[in-house]
Amino acid sequence: MSLQNIRKEVMQTLEKNIDSFVDKFLMPIEKIWQPTDFLPNSQQDSFIDEVKEIQELSKELDDDFWVVLVGDTITEEALPTYESWLLDLDGVTQQPDNGWAKWIRAWTAEENRHGDVLNKYLYLSGRVNMREVEMSTQHLIADGFDIGTATDPYKNFVYTSFQELATYISHNNVAKIAKKQGHKALAKMSKIIAGDEMRHHMAYTEFVKEIFKIDPSEMMLAFQHMMKHKIVMPAMHLRESFGAKGSLFDDFSTVAQRVGVYTGFDYVDILKKLNTTWEIDKITNLTPEAEKARDFLMKLPDRMYRITERIVVPDTKFNFKWMIPA
């Protein structure tokens, strides 16, 4: 049997328990928070005063902070790209009663609220050029992305396990900065978004755990492949109006590191956590090739940490079109 067919068989085996995954890791729509819960109510007389309060508080946060928040928002808003990518995995068919398609749609529906609330908050803050932000979002969706997984569910679940934890870290750090600056509403919003990302991270790591039980060697090789080629960020093709595809990502990453929202050390920590969560040191019945892959993964965090220590984050002032000139 081909590797692709084995993967389909494993996906079909996991699919039998998809309802339990949905119940365990996702929340009923009527019970979960909605963007309106964190935003001024336009039907109330206090609406204008609440907006003014947001705008006054927003003046206290510097441009670097807003650049990071804009980048996070655009990343969240590019969900149509991610959903279409996941729906194309081996073992997923887009029929209404397909379990994996049901999971992907329900996951997307939860994630969609993040970009929605952040976008509205940016608009109310008065700190950013929303038209430029909107053009960057449209470009990111139009440009698509290639995370190096093709239609392999094993590699995709490594990617989502990693990326959901990365977004948890990013939103959680935004919450800490906002709270420190007295921006309580933004802090609370970012904290609860981070909570969603953690639940989703736990779900995808659970899928990988189950695959390790059924097909350990191929799962280990898929994990090694993703880490050897590095996890690319969903916003890898970030650009401004009239900019080239991906031309803005390096500058954005520099600002995110400078602010402390997401750094190279966070990347290494995520890898260490995945090694621990999946207990790759204890997995048995591996092929010789998979044993080498495990050795590589076990040694990789220390190697990457030493490299990261030598990286100097520049203090270059970037002029993002997203920002309104002071």
User: Does any domain span residue 153?
Assistant: yes
316 belongs to a structural domain: no
Percent of the chain topping pLDDT 70: 98
* CATH code of the domain in which 245 resides: 1.10.620.20
Amino acid 23: pLDDT? 94
Q: Is 200 annotated as a binding residue?
A: yes
Tell me if 195 is assigned to some domain. Answer: yes
Q: Which of 110, 204, 195, 122 is nearest to 163 (CA)?
A: 204
Give a yes or no: residue 290 inside a domain. Answer: yes
Helix (H, G, I), strand (E, B) or coil at 128: strand
Structural domain count of the chain: 1
Q: Is 289 annotated as a binding residue?
A: no
pLDDT digits (tens, 9 = 90+) for 122-136: 999 999 999 999 999
- Averaged over 35-56, what is the pLDDT? 96
Nearest to 104 by CA among 75, 76, 79: 79
Is 237 inside a domain boundary? yes
Residue 2 pLDDT exceeds 80: no
Residue 111 annotated as lining a ligand binding site: yes
pLDDT digits (tens, 9 = 90+) for 88-122: 898 887 676 789 999 999 999 999 999 999 999 99
Among residues 167, 251, 266, 278, the one annotated as catalytic is 167
d(CA 66, CA 188) in angstroms, rounded, equals 17
Mean pLDDT on 45-52:
97
Torsion of Cα atoms, 250 then 112 then 120 then 53, to 10° = -100
What one-character DSSP code corresponds to residue 282?
G
From 15, 164, 206, 266, active-site residue: 164
Which residue among 64, 72, 90, 111 is the active-site one? 111
From 200, 201, 205, 215, active-site residue: 200
> What's the Rg (C-alpha) of the chain?
21
Known binder of ligand: residue 76?
A: yes
Structure tokens given for 212: 């390790």
Q: Is 9 an active-site residue?
A: no
- Among residues 63, 64, 76, 152, the one annotated as catalytic is 76
9 within domain boundaries: yes
Query: Active site includes 167?
Result: yes
Domain that holds residue 273: 3-309
Is 200 part of the annotated catalytic residue set? yes
* Residue 1 predicted with pLDDT over 60: no
Total residues belonging to the chain: 326
Residue 66 in tokens:
């807003």
24 pLDDT tier (thresholds 50, 70, 90): very high
Q: Domain for residue 321, yes or no?
A: no
Q: Is 132 known to be catalytic?
A: no
Residue 114, annotated as binding a ligand? yes
Active-site residue flag, 111: yes
Residue 326 confidence class, pLDDT cut points 50, 70, 90: low
- Classify residue 324: in a domain, yes or no: no
Give the pTM. 0.95
Is 206 annotated in the active site?
A: no
Give me the torsion for CA of 225, 229, 231, 236, rounded to 10°. -140
Q: Per residue in 171-222, pLDDT tens?
A: 999 999 999 999 999 999 999 999 999 999 999 999 999 999 999 999 999 9
Average pLDDT over residues 241-262: 96
- Residues 63, 152, 197, 266: which is the catalytic one? 197
